[in-house]
Structure 1
């Protein structure tokens, strides 16, 4: 089971997460309490192993700015959490993770409109456009809706429920942010516990490629 830790803002946490077994690190460049400067993200990335995915999170940003930041920082993937169109996603030079917020059973119909590398299924949008860290009913996701899609499922994952999420969805990767924080700060003990729980689950990776994300 692969794991992505999102909302990283310092090198110590990034390196600890990787040491614990994280496969991907996420940086937020949109309005958020976890927003990181381009300079700081670039410095962190220079210290990370080449095989670790470096994902930049953006919300309704212009293409030129996304490309500039991605190139400067050394990102490997771009995650879009706004109202970006399929054409916009396809115009970017890096692999795209497009977020879709689930508000009802019909929300997932939007998956059919996106042919980007990954589709991120998140909970209802929060204050700044990204996820609000709340889980939604995972049972509303049917195998047919995500068939032949590389899906990222976001919203409310933490060390207590990650094994259940893996059992239900059989994901390829899980991703967490607020679920490994204490009082708004990344908690290394929670990160280690989350990764251990996720990687201790051997039921995933068989249905399709899914990444779970909690903003």
Structure 2
């Protein structure tokens, strides 16, 4: 099970995620309480091994800005969390994770319009696109056999429900941000516990 720890804003949190076995580290470059600028993200990224993929999260951002940040930070993936069109996604020039907010079954039909490396299924937007700490109805995402190996699950995940989420949806990866925080700050113990719990699933424990 691939695990992405998103909303990283410190070297300490990044190192904990790496040491605990995270597969992806996420930086948020959109409006959010976890927003980070490209220079700080680049500094943190310099401490992340090349084996760990770096993901930049954007919402309805200009194409040139995305490319500039991706180049500066050394991003491996660009995650688009806004209303970006399929054509826009193709122009970026980086592997794409396209996020979709799932309120009803019909929302999943939009996925067929996009050609992406991964589809991230998230809960409906709150104050910000993503990172709101609320889960959507996972039963809506059952049986996505056409997308096997391409679905990343997000939204309201934490150490207490991640096994159930994986069992219900069967994603290739999971994405967590607020679920590994205490008072809005990344909690090193929660990061370690979450990753361990998620990784235990594939071991059958």
Aligned-residue offset at 1:129: 2.6
The alignment of Structure 1 onto Structure 2 pairs a total of residues equal to: 204
Kindly state the Cα deviation for residue 3 of structure 1 after the two structures are TM-superposed. Answer: 1.1
Runs of 4+ with deviation above 3 angstroms: 144-149
2:180 matches 1:180: yes
Give the Cα–Cα distance (whole angstroms) in 2 for the partners of residues 54 and 77 of structure 1: 6
Q: Measure how far apart 1:130 and its partner are.
A: 2.8
Counterpart in 2 of 1:113?
113
Once residues 30 and 20 of structure 1 are traced to their aligned partners in structure 2, the CA distance between those partners, rounded to angstroms, is: 26
Matched, 1:26 2:41: no
* 1:31-67, Cα deviation, whole Å (9 max, x unpaired): 0000011110000111110111000000000100000
Partner of 1:209: none
The 2-side partners of 1:144 and 1:196 are apart by 26
Partner residue, 1:89 = 89
Gaps spanning 5+ residues in structure 2: where? Answer: none
Q: Cα RMSD (Å) of the superposition?
A: 1.5
Structure 1 unaligned blocks of 5 or more:
205-215
2:161 maps to what in 1? Answer: 161
Question: Is the 8 Å Cα contact of residues 3 and 24 (structure 1) preserved in structure 2?
Answer: yes
CA distance in 2, matches of 1:160, 1:196: 12
* C-alpha displacement of 1:149: 6.2
For 1:137, the equivalent position in structure 2 comes to 137
Where 1:106 maps in the other structure, the secondary structure is helix
1:65 pairs with 2:65: yes
Give the conservation status (yes or no) of the 8 Å contact 1:167–1:203: no
Q: TM-score, structure 2 length as denominator?
A: 0.95
Q: Give distance in 2, aligned partners of 1:170 and 1:140.
A: 12
Give deviations 1:84-124, integer Å, cap 9, x for gaps. 00000011111011111011121111111111111111100
Tell me, in whole angstroms, the C-alpha distance in 2 between the residues paired with 1:149 and 1:111: 14
Q: Which residue of 2 aligns with 1:102?
A: 102
Shift of 1:203: 7.2
